[in-house]
Copies of this chain bind each other. A is one copy, B any other.
Amino acid sequence: MNLLERLTFFIKDNSLFEDDDKILLTVSGGRDSMLLTFLLAKAGYQIAIAHCNFKLRGAESDLDECLVRDFAEAHGIPFYVRHFDTEQIASERGISIQMAARELRYSWFEELREALSFDKIAVAQHLNDHIETVLLNLSRGTGLQGLQGIQAKRDRLIRPLLFLKAEEVLHYVQEYQIPYRDDQSNFSTKYARNKVRIDIIPQFKKMQPDFERIFEQNIAHFKESYALLQQFITPLRNDLFIKEQEAWIIEKEKLRKHITDLPLLYELFSPFCFSKSVLTDLQSCFDKESGRLFQSEGYDLLLDRDFLIIREKEYKQEDETIITSETKSVSWRNYSFCCDYSHDVSIVRDKQIAKIDTNLLIFPLTLRAWKTGDYFYPLGMTGRKKLSDLFNNYKVNVFEKGNVPILINGNGDIIWVANYQLDNRYKISGNTNKVFILSCK
């Protein structure tokens, strides 16, 4: 097979795109992206070029842009370019220049794709990038998933050159006399990926001249093993994890037979990213501490009496709403509150309404969620009580209690656990002359 046939075969074999799809090609001017542009144009696909000028290497950056623009014009390929003040944006956002360039690049590509109705965005990564990714993951610690390398296709992003070795790319740009400009930063060993490229892969090639092909086969094997494992895990997970509205419910009884098998547990819970140490905790208190909460980056897991309940962390940021003396209405999460003042000192039995002695209030008041350690003096009880105990009494589970609005006075006192209980200190009394009425819907 010649190169064009190999490319077409790879595209078909991996279902990268359809013949009549419109492809937006991201072209830096380096040999990889120039070769890909040349080949896709030669194969007659509908392509356009998008070039980012990050202004990071002075005149060099502009020369890259010229090269790509000239090539696009010479081959009648639509050309789009955008200039970024990458350094400034990086410093504004407090992120690295690499990270900023990456974010700018992908958001502009996506914008362009949508605006001009492209079907796919093509990136020119090749086999050596694929292998570097795996070797990098190995150096940083990885499981089987980290051995999958770069995906040839993910959503609309495609990588049609993933079958080609770096040395083949060089060979073909020379053979076809394709213009390109090397980015000198690729040759520095400053970054880990460059170290893998320059110091590690060539050493492997000394042992094994066909290293890239062999490693490509390795990755294919690892992918197969991973997919095969998922083939067994997925039906088991589907059987165990029942989606109910916002939560996944797992019957403890059903999970019990797997609970001692940590590797299996880890795979089963992998969509929720619970660490092995958290799962080890879960194992050890599976039958002991119902009510305990376990956390991952994005999810909470509640170990209830008969069920495990997993929910996405909805409010990762602290959220608080302020009530000033002027506030008429306010909302906090899914609740809305109306504020009013009155001289009616009659008692209401409605848990959704708090009548408070206005003289005791220190504005601004705050509405927020429960925090560990919160306590107050519940009306109708003697003394101080932890909110967690109150919730336990009412059999409020961890997820619900996280959503109960707590009204805080300006001095930090808890005035009201909305929908549950008012604080004894803030109730209206014989001395009350003005009543603050807060009602919750």
Q: Which residues of A contact B (CB under 8 A)?
A: 138-144, 192, 195-196, 199-200, 203-204, 206-208, 211, 214-215, 217-218, 221-222, 224-229, 231-232, 261, 263-264, 266-267
Roughly how many angstroms separate A204 CA and B196 CA in the complex, as a whole number? 8
Given contacts A139-B204, A139-B208, A211-B139, contact A144 B225 (CB under 8 A): yes
A143 touching B225, Cβ below 8 Å: yes
Chain B residues, CB < 8 A from A261: 231
Roughly how many angstroms separate A232 CA and B228 CA in the complex, as a whole number? 10
Determine the residue in chain B with the shortest Cβ distance to A229. Answer: B229
Given contacts A225-B263, A263-B225, A263-B228, contact A141 B204 (CB under 8 A): no
* CB of A91 to closest CB in B, whole Å: 27
A263 touching B224, Cβ below 8 Å: yes
Other A-B pairs beyond A139-B208, A142-B218, A203-B203, 10, CB < 8 Å: A138-B215, A139-B214, A140-B214, A144-B221, A144-B222, A195-B206, A200-B204, A228-B229, A229-B229, A231-B264
- Would you give 30 A-B contacts (Cβ < 8 Å), ordered by A? A138-B215, A139-B207, A139-B211, A139-B214, A140-B208, A140-B214, A141-B214, A141-B217, A142-B221, A143-B218, A143-B221, A143-B224, A143-B225, A144-B225, A192-B207, A195-B203, A195-B206, A196-B207, A200-B200, A200-B204, A203-B203, A224-B263, A225-B229, A225-B263, A228-B229, A228-B263, A228-B264, A229-B232, A231-B264, A232-B232
- Kindly identify which residue among B199, B224, B267 contacts A206, using a CB–CB cutoff of 8 Å: B199
Chain B residues, CB < 8 A from A206: 195, 199
Copies per complex of this chain: 2
Roughly how many angstroms separate A63 CA and B140 CA in the complex, as a whole number? 42
B229 touching A143, Cβ below 8 Å: no
Chain B residues, CB < 8 A from A142: 218, 221
Chain B residues, CB < 8 A from A218: 138, 141-143
Chain B residues, CB < 8 A from A232: 229, 232
Chain B residues, CB < 8 A from A192: 207
Chain B residues, CB < 8 A from A208: 139-140
Chain B residues, CB < 8 A from A143: 218, 221-222, 224-225
Determine the residue in chain B with the shortest Cβ distance to A216. Answer: B141
* CB of A118 to closest CB in B, whole Å: 34
Roughly how many angstroms separate A192 CA and B192 CA in the complex, as a whole number? 24
* CB of A345 to closest CB in B, whole Å: 66
Chain B residues, CB < 8 A from A214: 139-141
Chain B residues, CB < 8 A from A217: 141
B195 touching A267, Cβ below 8 Å: no
Determine the residue in chain B with the shortest Cβ distance to A223. Answer: B263
Roughly how many angstroms separate A221 CA and B182 CA in the complex, as a whole number? 38
Chain B residues, CB < 8 A from A211: 139
Roughly how many angstroms separate A142 CA and B200 CA in the complex, as a whole number? 18
Determine the residue in chain B with the shortest Cβ distance to A215. Answer: B138
Determine the residue in chain B with the shortest Cβ distance to A224. Answer: B263
* Nearest 10 interchain pairs by C-beta: A143-B221, A232-B232, A224-B263, A144-B225, A199-B203, A141-B214, A139-B208, A228-B263, A200-B203, A229-B229
* CB of A76 to closest CB in B, whole Å: 44
Chain B residues, CB < 8 A from A228: 229, 263-264, 267
Roughly how many angstroms separate A192 CA and B214 CA in the complex, as a whole number? 16
Roughly how many angstroms separate A263 CA and B227 CA in the complex, as a whole number? 9
* CB of A270 to closest CB in B, whole Å: 11
Determine the residue in chain B with the shortest Cβ distance to A203. Answer: B199
Chain B residues, CB < 8 A from A203: 195, 199-200, 203
* CB of A319 to closest CB in B, whole Å: 37
* CB of A268 to closest CB in B, whole Å: 10
Roughly how many angstroms separate A203 CA and B194 CA in the complex, as a whole number? 12
Chain B residues, CB < 8 A from A196: 207
Roughly how many angstroms separate A211 CA and B196 CA in the complex, as a whole number? 14
* CB of A104 to closest CB in B, whole Å: 27
Chain B residues, CB < 8 A from A200: 200, 203-204
Chain B residues, CB < 8 A from A204: 139, 200
Chain B residues, CB < 8 A from A144: 144, 221-222, 225
